[in-house]
Amino acid sequence: MNPSNKEKQQMRSKSSLSQKSQKKDKSNQKPWLSSSKMSNNSKNVNGHYTKFSLKMFKGNTYLPKFIKEVHDDPFSFECLKCKDDEQQNKVILANNLFNHLGSVGHQANTPSKEMDMLDTALKILEPATNKKAEKNIEEKKTKNESEGYLEFIGFLMSQNFSYAQIERLGKYLQKGAKEKRLGFLKTANFDQRFISKLSQDCFGKVINDNLIDKLSTVPFSLILDNSTFCGESICALKVKFLSKDWEEDSEAEITSIKNKIIGISNLKESSSGLTLLEIVESKLLKNEKCLEKLSWICT
């Protein structure tokens, strides 16, 4: 049975609409690259691709020896060092040059004698975003260190440290930091009562013995200073002498006047000459060599 003229017209109308729809769909499609070229690179059609060029090496002469152009794909390259590696892509996007060179696979395929040249190439090709991030981190670190330094100096000045004391303390801490001996700062006890007891029981005797040994080798003067403190009469024994010390900065021996306290004694009820002599003998003159070096006594 032949279709009527009306049916033929409806069929031609549907065919025309179908063809227009197909054309519209094709016009909206984005240009996909061949599947053979996409299989190894997972190309994103919305991305930006770099065309292979010697300019991408940024003047490096090492990379062109094994990074070669893919003749049927202007946006990719092949790596001769990795082409026989089954775990590596055969064709790689030019955009991924830096990532490929820094990959574990490529570095495993690079001879050890070429690692320095590879590192140099990576520094040249490093993306600007990475360099900017590293620069920001470095600037923040420098800012924190500067703030910490100024805060440290300000605290020492507020505690009436002299410039010379600040210099000596700073250099001591720098040396300790270089030798990694400052770990105790996190856990040590800095309570003043504990430090006082530590000074008396531990350092006091050692420091005093070293001072006595020093006085047995150089002329010195002795000063007796009596005073009343909180209702108690006390006597302080001080010595003054010349000392030669090695200074690392100038790399020479520097002569300076030293003032040191030998000891402090309670006078109790008597401050006679005999009492003072007994104090001096007990604190200092037990060492005969010190007696020979004693120049004069001042009270």
State the helix-helix crossing angle for 163-178 and 128-158, rounded to 10 degrees.
140
Is residue 22 included in any domain, yes or no?
no
* Residues 6 or more apart whose Cβ sits within 8 Å of residue 221: 239, 240, 241, 294, 295, 296, 297, 298
Q: Are residues 141 and 182 in the same domain?
A: yes
Is residue 11 included in any domain, yes or no?
no
Q: Are residues 292 and 206 in the same domain?
A: yes
* Residues 6 or more apart whose Cβ sits within 8 Å of residue 292: none
Q: Which residue has the higher pLDDT, 276 or 118?
A: 118
Q: Which residue has the higher pLDDT, 189 or 31?
A: 189
Give the domain extent around 226.
Answer: 199-298
Band of the pLDDT at 273, cuts 50, 70, 90?
low
Band of the pLDDT at 166, cuts 50, 70, 90?
very high
Q: Are residues 226 and 249 in the same domain?
A: yes
Pick the last residue of a domain from 108, 126, 144.
126
pTM value? Answer: 0.41
Best-predicted range by mean pLDDT (18-32, 166-180, 208-222, 267-281) = 166-180
What pLDDT is attached to residue 5? 56
Is residue 192 included in any domain, yes or no?
no
Q: Are residues 215 and 271 in the same domain?
A: yes
Is residue 68 included in any domain, yes or no?
yes
Can you tell me which residue has the tokens 């031609």?
A: 12
Residue 252: count other Cβ atoms within 10 Å of its Cβ.
9
Q: Which residue has the higher pLDDT, 4 or 68?
A: 68
**In the predicted model, is pLDDT for residue 101 greater than 70?**
yes
Q: Are residues 50 and 94 in the same domain?
A: yes
Q: Are residues 141 and 225 in the same domain?
A: no
Is residue 206 included in any domain, yes or no?
yes
**In the predicted model, is pLDDT for residue 262 greater than 90?**
no
With beta carbons less than 8 A apart as the criterion, state whether 82 and 105 touch.
Answer: yes
Q: Are residues 182 and 204 in the same domain?
A: no
Q: Are residues 157 and 208 in the same domain?
A: no
**In the predicted model, is pLDDT for residue 73 greater than 50?**
yes
The first and second tokens of residue 150, run together, are 């100024």
Q: How far is CA 74 from CA 30, 43, 90, 95, in A?
A: 19, 14, 15, 12
Q: Are residues 121 and 138 in the same domain?
A: no
Band of the pLDDT at 251, cuts 50, 70, 90?
confident
Band of the pLDDT at 42, cuts 50, 70, 90?
very low
Is residue 158 included in any domain, yes or no?
yes
Is residue 63 included in any domain, yes or no?
yes
Q: Are residues 182 and 247 in the same domain?
A: no
DSSP 3-state of 92:
strand
Q: Which residues of 259-295 are buried (b: 16+ CB within 10 A; e: fewer)?
A: ebebeebebeeeeeeeebeebbeebbeeeeebeeebe
Pick the last residue of a domain from 164, 186, 208.
186
What pLDDT is attached to residue 124? 86
How many domains does the chain fold into? 3
Can you tell me which residue has the tokens 């700062």?
A: 185
Is residue 82 included in any domain, yes or no?
yes
Q: Are residues 75 and 141 in the same domain?
A: no
Q: Which residue has the higher pLDDT, 287 or 173?
A: 173
The first and second tokens of residue 278, run together, are 């007994």
Q: Are residues 230 and 293 in the same domain?
A: yes
Pick the last residue of a domain from 90, 107, 126.
126
